[in-house]
């Protein structure tokens, strides 16, 4: 399992629609939060090992209707 966090900026006024769409339509998206700061949403995605992360963000997140910009953080290790 490969975890990534994607910060998402949406078209103006569309953040809540994008959030609803992401959790309902993309299986790999496990959590979506609206947040303070420069971006509108923080999405936690859990990908299968070996997935090309760049292609996932390019093909699945950036093409969601209402998405305007993305910032991708790769999680190397989870502590618990």
Question: By CB under 8 A, how many residues form the interface with a copy of itself?
Answer: 43
- Residues 74 and 15: their CA atoms lie apart, in Å, by 22
Instruction: Tell me: does residue 3 bind a copy of itself (CB under 8 A).
Output: yes
Interface with a copy of itself, residue 45, by CB under 8 A: no
Q: How far is Cα 30 from Cα 2, in angstroms, rounded to an integer?
A: 12
- Residue 40 is given by DSSP the state S
Please tell me whether residue 48 binds a copy of itself under the rule CB under 8 A.
Answer: no
Would you count residue 67 as binding a copy of itself (CB under 8 A)? yes
CB 71 within 8 A of CB 4: no
Q: Does 8 bind a copy of itself (CB under 8 A)?
A: no
Instruction: Report in angstroms how near the CB of residue 27 gets to a copy of itself at its nearest.
Output: 13
27 binds a copy of itself (CB under 8 A): no
Q: Single out the residue of 20, 15, 18, 17 nearest to residue 35, CA to CA.
A: 15
């Amino acid at each position: 399992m490969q975890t990534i966090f994607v910060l998402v900026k949406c078209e103006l006024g569309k953040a809540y629609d994008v959030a609803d769409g992401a959790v309902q339509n993309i299986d790999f998206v496990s959590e979506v939060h609206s947040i303070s700061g420069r971006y509108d949403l923080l999405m936690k995605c859990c990908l299968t090992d070996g997935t090309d992360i760049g292609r996932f963000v390019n093909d699945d997140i950036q093409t969601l209707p209402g998405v305007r910009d993305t910032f991708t953080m790769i999680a190397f290790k989870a502590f618990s």
